[in-house]
């Protein structure tokens, strides 16, 4: 969280009954300067708060804030399982599936595939950027 906030990037939390039920943030897609207009989103929702619209609300707000910063593309890197709610949510919000990398992650005692999704934001690639999205990063 501190690294994201230090870059002045959005880090959002959803609270219900004085309890955090989910969060979302945007971070570097890649560290090199050429990618400073593309951010990667992360969304986590507590298991008992899923399918209640919390992720959708967080992701919509995150996209709006990233657009206001001058972001041009948003990427999502999602653990891909059959009938993934995360893939469905991102698709519903305009993300396109770019591809699936097979068996690149390992968690919960099994190999997992990862879906790569992308969504244009703001002016996307229609013109040159007018401001930096992320401060100094590796050139």
Could you report the per-residue pLDDT of 88-118, keeping only the tens digit for each?
Answer: 999 999 999 999 999 999 988 999 999 999 9
Using the predicted structure, report yes or no on whether residue 131 has a pLDDT greater than 70: yes
- Whether residue 13 is contained in a domain is answered as yes
pLDDT of res. 115: 94
Note whether 78 and 117 are within 8 A (CB).
Answer: yes
Bridge partners of 117, per DSSP, are: 76, 97
- Whether residue 130 is contained in a domain is answered as no
Domain membership of residue 33 as a residue range: 2-120
Domain at 24, CATH number:
3.40.630.30
Above pLDDT 70, what percent of the chain?
Answer: 96
Tally of structural domains, the chain: 1
The pTM score is: 0.88
- Whether residue 67 is contained in a domain is answered as yes
Note whether 113 and 102 are within 8 A (CB).
Answer: yes
Scanning the chain, the segments in alpha helix (DSSP H) are 2-6, 54-69, 85-92
pLDDT of res. 139: 41
Note whether 118 and 63 are within 8 A (CB).
Answer: no
- Whether residue 134 is contained in a domain is answered as no
pLDDT tens digits for 25-83?
999 898 888 888 999 999 999 989 898 999 999 999 999 999 999 999 999 999 877 77
11-16 vs 19-28, strand pairing mode: antiparallel
Distances (CA, A) of 103 to 30, 48, 88, 106, 113: 21, 28, 20, 7, 5
pLDDT of res. 135: 56
């Amino acid at each position: 969280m501190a690294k994201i906030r230090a870059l002045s990037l959005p880090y959002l939390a959803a609270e219900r009954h004085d309890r955090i039920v989910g969060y979302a943030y945007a971070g570097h897609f890649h560290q090199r300067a050429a990618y400073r207009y593309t951010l990667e989103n992360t969304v986590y929702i507590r298991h008992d708060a899923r399918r209640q619209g919390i992720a959708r609300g967080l992701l919509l707000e995150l996209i709006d804030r990233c657009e206001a910063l001058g972001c041009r593309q948003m990427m999502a890197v999602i653990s891909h399982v059959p009938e993934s709610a995360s893939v469905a949510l991102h698709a519903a919000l305009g993300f396109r599936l770019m591809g699936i990398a097979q068996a690149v992650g390992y968690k919960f005692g099994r190999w997992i595939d990862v879906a790569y999704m992308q969504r244009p934001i703001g002016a996307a690639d229609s013109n040159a950027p007018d401001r930096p999205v992320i401060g100094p990063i590796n050139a």
